[in-house]
Amino acid sequence: MFLAVLIMSVILAIGLGISGILIQQIKISENIGDSVVAFYAADAGIEQQIYDLYKEETHSSSYNAVLVNNASYEVSAMCGPENSNCLTGIPTALEEECDSSNNYCIRSVGTFQATKRAIEVNY
């Protein structure tokens, strides 16, 4: 009798451990869709900033926008010397003094529900 209870306890412990792992994996897979939407929102921010730079419209160095699906993005752009590195940061803000010899560093953070994804490009 004691041996049967001991074996059942071990089987129950293994079953609960496996079910805990499966529940975590299911939660992660449910959030993958939110991650994709957040990534594409960040991409939309990058595209909008590049379009603004190409058209040379008046724009600020950072702005926010909310998309139709309630995703949002926050874009910031900076300019610096041509050989500057986006990851280490560029010291000067986007101003009228930026010209064609400067390198633009554009960073966009897309948000959807509780998920955030960021993209950083040199232009």
- Region of residue 113 (left: phi > 0; alpha: psi -120 to 50; beta: else): left
Which helix H or strand E contains 61, and what residues bound it? none
Q: What angle do CA 25, 118, 122 make, to 5 degrees?
A: 145
Site of tokens 């400067």? 102
- What is the per-residue pLDDT across 107-123, written as a single tens digit (0 to 9) for each? 899 999 888 999 988 87
- What is the per-residue pLDDT across 62-118, written as a single tens digit (0 to 9) for each? 778 888 888 999 998 877 666 556 655 544 444 455 655 567 788 899 999 888 999
Put simply, whether the predicted model's pTM sits higher than 0.75 gets the answer no
| Residue 76 β-bridge partners | 62, 107
